[in-house]
Chains A and B, each alone.
Chain A
Amino acid sequence: MTAPVDVEAGARRVTTAKAISEAIAQEMRANPEVFVMGEDVGPYGGIFGSTGGLFEEFGATRVIDTPISETGFIGAGIGAAVEGMRPVVELMFVDFLGVCFDQIYNHMAKIHYESGGNVKVPMVLMMAVGGGYSDAAQHSQCLWATFAHMPGMKVVAPSNPYDAKGLMASAIKDDNPVIFMFHKGVMGLPWMAKNPRSIGAVPEEEYTVPIGKAAIPHPGTDVTVVSVSMSVQHCLDVAEKLEGTTSVEVIDLRSIVPLDREAILASVAKTGRLVIVDEDYKSFGLSGEIVATIADKDPSMLKVPVQRVAYPDIPVPYARVLEYEALPTRDKIEAAIAAVMKG
């Protein structure tokens, strides 16, 4: 037996926020058609740091601060994309989708289809998601299932800096519209509750992480825990805590569209036990889609019923104690694992 190796020893470590802005900068250097647009993406660097340093390097013609008019600047991004540019547009908070959704799902998502495949929309629409810091009902939702439900958009939500950089590079290179959702809790911001997993080793050179391919950051044999975004960090904390008693396989979906159903099916075929952890609303969403994936293929692969740790169907509470009562927490994930292991 050799001693465990610290794979990150000596490597350059950065926050997820820095990893995202670095990916955008590398694509902008490589391709003059790439530009950034949105509220406070310029000198401020994005309210969650996703565009830090870009204005200083590329200037006001390629890093464009917009008025507070989401339907206007998202529409402008779509227009630029159909003319051959590759815009990265930031919608600040996903919760604001209500004022601009016609542009998103009737235009950005459908132009390629409606043009008979003749017009491409190579656009990235990025936005902050998630709660845990008392920002209440209009600034704390995840809503990835809302985009995923409608055809025509890819949807990604990384849980760590390495995936964030590689997925952003893939999203910009992709000829389809890609929704890039970063949870505020994975950005590594000093003023947020911080998990060390939000800071990690990231190569300085350019690389891509494929869209539609899940990762298995913690392999195991007793129970499959499927999650995405911030909740993956909690799942990994629990999986490490349970080492020696329960062998937990954590699947980080990384992409919601396309959903890596093969990775889920292969793992559940091995373990026979499934826990789904999703910070988006429970009903009519990702967790139900994953259960349906199993039921469609072969429900007998499950030894016990599925446990879903998902957001209850209520608006996000402001009061911290109430919000944490609703959020998927480590305690709830551990209890769900215990419940499927009893069966």
Chain B
Amino acid sequence: MSETITFPTMSKDEDAEGVLATWFVRTGETVRSGQVIAEVMVDKVSMDVEAPTSGTVTCLVEEEAAVRQGQEIARID
């Protein structure tokens, strides 16, 4: 079973683009539910992204990459 994690909605502007500012985990690592795995940013406002479940994480975008809200950024298996 796997769960996808998407870039959170931080701006009312649906087309707003954000940045995957920091990965705190690397692909293949085990994460716990609730663990902060990334920090994302839209217009210089940042936010932590937590793992919704425990498992093995796969990062789907590069650090510093521009990402749309709602886009998949990671998967946990």
Contact = CB atoms under 8 A, between A and B. Distances in A.
Q: Bound pair: A and B? A: yes
A14 B36 contact: yes
Contacts of A12: 24, 35
Given A13-B24, A199-B22, A199-B24, A190 B39 contact: yes
Contact of A14 (B24, B26, B29): B24
B54 interface: no
Interface in A1-47: 9-10, 12-15
Interface in B10-51: 19, 21-22, 24-26, 29-30, 35-36, 39, 41, 44, 46
Contacts of B35: 12
A87 interface: no
B22 A191 contact: no
Given A10-B29, A12-B35, A14-B36, A190 B24 contact: no
Nearest to B40: A190
A191 B41 contact: yes
Nearest to A52: B48
Interface of A: 9-10, 12-15, 188-191, 194, 199
A96 B55 CA distance: 47
Contacts of A199: 22, 24
A188 B22 contact: yes
A188 to B, nearest CB: 7
Contacts of A190: 19, 21-22, 39, 41, 46
B18 to A, nearest CB: 10
Nearest to A188: B22
Contacts of B30: 10
A15 B41 CA distance: 15
A91 to B, nearest CB: 24
A12 B44 CA distance: 25
A15 B46 CA distance: 13
Nearest to A14: B24
Contacts of B39: 15, 190
7 contacts: A9-B26, A9-B29, A12-B24, A14-B36, A188-B22, A194-B22, A199-B24
Nearest to B36: A14
A-B CB proximity, top 10 nearest: A190-B21, A13-B24, A190-B41, A190-B46, A191-B44, A10-B29, A190-B39, A199-B22, A190-B22, A10-B30
